[in-house]
Structure 1
C-alpha cells in the first residue's frame, strides 16, 4: 500500500516543494481574509445561508420519505425473492454512485438554475444512500419479535407494523439526522455550480479574490455547521436512548 501511495504521488506530481509552496500561498490568503468584513452584504449572506439550510432540509426529508418504503423491498427478510431484492439494491447503488455535484449539474440543465435543482440533487443522492442504510437496518432486526407476532395470528403486514418498524424507526431517524448534517455542507458545494445557497457567493468571491467578505462568509458557515452538528448529535443520542455527552 505504501508503494502504491508513493507511485500515486509521483504520477500526480505531488512533491514536498509544491506542498510547502501551497501552504505559503494559503497563509497569504488567510491573512488577506482578516479582518473579515461583509462590506454591507451581511444580510444577503444570511439569506443565502438560510436558503442553503432549506435546500438541505427539503432534500433530506423528501429523500427519507421516498426511501423508507423502497428500503423494505430491498431487505432480504421482507422480500425473499432474490431477483426482486437484487434489482432494487442495484438500483439504489446506481443512484447513489453519482455525486451530488453531478446530479446538480444534471438538474440545472433540466429545471434551470436555483435552489430547486439543489433540492433535487440532494434527493437523488440521499434516496440511494438512505434506501441502502434503511434496508440494512431492517435486515439487522431481531427476527424473534416478528415470529411472536405471527404466532399470535398476525399476518406479514402486522409483523412489519408491530415488530420491524418499532425496531428500525430510531435507527432511521438517527441516519436521517446525520444525512441532514452532511447535506448542509453538500448544499454549500452544489451552490457553486448554480444550485442556490451560499455556494454562488463563495465561487464569485474566490474568482474575484474578494477575500475579506469571503472570510466572514466562511466563518458564518463554520458556525452554522457546528451548531447543527451539536444539536443533531444530541437529538440522535436521545433517539437511540443514550445520554448526550457532556
Structure 2
C-alpha cells in the first residue's frame, strides 16, 4: 500500500464487520476491569462506613480545627526566663536524643553493612541471613521500641536514645550495604594489584567511594530523627515532645503553637547546616547551579 493510499470510513466498516473482535476489548479483560473497579468502590464504601465518615462530621471538625488554628497568631511569648529555659532544655534534649541515637545506630550498623554487601561477603546464606536481620529490625516502629524501652529502663531520654539507635541499625545497615555494593571494582583491583590485603582493599578501594554516600545518609537520618525525637517525647521518652503534649492536654494552644514554631525552626536550622556540611565535604553538583 502506497503512502498516498487513504483508508476510507467504508474500509474501516468492512474490516469491523469481518473481524469484530479486533476492534473491541476481550471479554475477560473487560470483566477483570469491572471487577477491579467494583472491589475498589466496595472497599472505599466500607472504609467510609466503618470510620463514620460524613459531611456533617467533616464540617464540624473543620470548625474546631479553625478554633485551634486561631491560637497560632499572635505567637505566645514567654515572659520569664524560668519558663523559656524549660522550653530550651526540652529542645536541647530532643536534639541530643536524635544525635546520640543516630551516632550509636550508625556505629553498630557500619560493620554489619559489610556483612550484607554482595561484593564483600561471598557466602550467600550468611549474607541473606544478615539482610533478613536488617528487615526484622526495621519492622519495629521507633515509637513501639520507645514504649518497650520505657518499660525496661523507665521514663527519660535513655529510652528515646535506645529506640532511635535500634531502629537506625536496620536502616543504616541496609543503606550502607547497598552503597558498598554499588562501588566500582577498579580501585579495588588497583589495590589488589599492588599487593594489598583484603582489608586494605576495603580501606583504600571501597571506603573512599562510600564515605560521602554514608555521610549523606547519616545527615539525612539525623534530620529525620530530630522529628522522631519530638514524637518520642509525647510517650515519655524525654525531649520537647513531653512539654508539647503537656500544653495540648492542658488546652494551652497558644503556648503549644509557639513550641511547634520553635521545633520547625530547629529542623530548618539543622537542615541548612547539614546541607552546608554536605556541600563542604561531598561537594556540589554543577548542574544544580
Shorter-chain TM range is over 0.9
Q: 1:70-113, CA deviations, whole angstroms, 9 ceiling, x for partnerless residues?
A: 10011011001011101111111111111111010000011110
2:51 to 3, 9, 12: 12
Match of 2:272 among 230, 239, 245: 230
Which residue of the partner structure matches residue 45 of structure 1? Answer: 87
Shift of 1:28: 0.6
Change (3 A) 1:82 1:38: same
Greater C-alpha Rg: 2
For residues 103-132 of structure 1, what are the alpha-carbon distances to aligned partners after superposition, in whole Å with 9 as ceiling and x for unaligned? 100000111100011000000111110110
Structure 2: tracts of 5 or more residues without a match: 1-35
| CA 1:45–1:167: 2 relative to 1, 3 Å | same
Give distance in 1, aligned partners of 2:215 and 2:54.
Answer: 44
Aligned to 2:177: 135
TM-score normalized with structure 2 length = 0.79
- Residue in 2 that maps onto 1:164: 206
Distance 1:133 1:115 in 2: 26
Query: 5+ unaligned residues in a row in structure 1: which ranges?
Result: none
Looking at structure 2, the residues matched to 118 and 17 of structure 1 have their Cα atoms a distance apart, in angstroms, of 40
Query: Residues 85 and 14 (structure 1 numbering): CA distance in 2 closer, same or farther, change over 3 Å?
Result: farther
Whether 1:197 and 2:236 are equivalent positions in the alignment is no
Greater RCO structure (CA 8 Å; 6+ sep): 1
Aligned residues: 246
Partner of 1:29: 68
Match of 2:282 among 209, 233, 240: 240
Paired with 1:107 and 1:170, the residues of 2 have a C-alpha distance of 33
CA shift in 2, pair 1:39/1:90, >3 Å:
farther
CA-CA distance at 1:7 after TM superposition: 4.7
CA contact (8 A) 1:60 1:183 kept: yes
Q: Quick one: distance in 2 between partners of 1:123 and 1:84?
A: 24
Aligned-residue RMSD, C-alpha = 2.0
Task: Report the CA distance between 1:234 and its aligned residue.
Answer: 2.4
Question: Which residue, 86, 92, 106 being the options, matches 1:64?
Answer: 106
Shift, 1:19, TM fit:
3.4
Q: Which deviations, in whole Å up to 9, do the C-alpha atoms of 1:175-224 show, x marking residues without a partner?
A: 00000100100000000011000111111111111112112111111111
Q: Secondary structure at the match of 2:122?
A: coil
Which region of structure 1 is more displaced relative to structure 2, 12-21 or 128-137? 12-21
Over 3 Å counting, the alpha-carbon distance change for 1:37 and 1:123 in structure 2 is same
Matched residue, 2:157: 115
C-alpha contact 1:174 1:239 (8 A) present in aligned 2? no
SS at match of 2:196: coil
C-alpha distance 20-163 of structure 1, shift in aligned 2 (>3 A) = farther
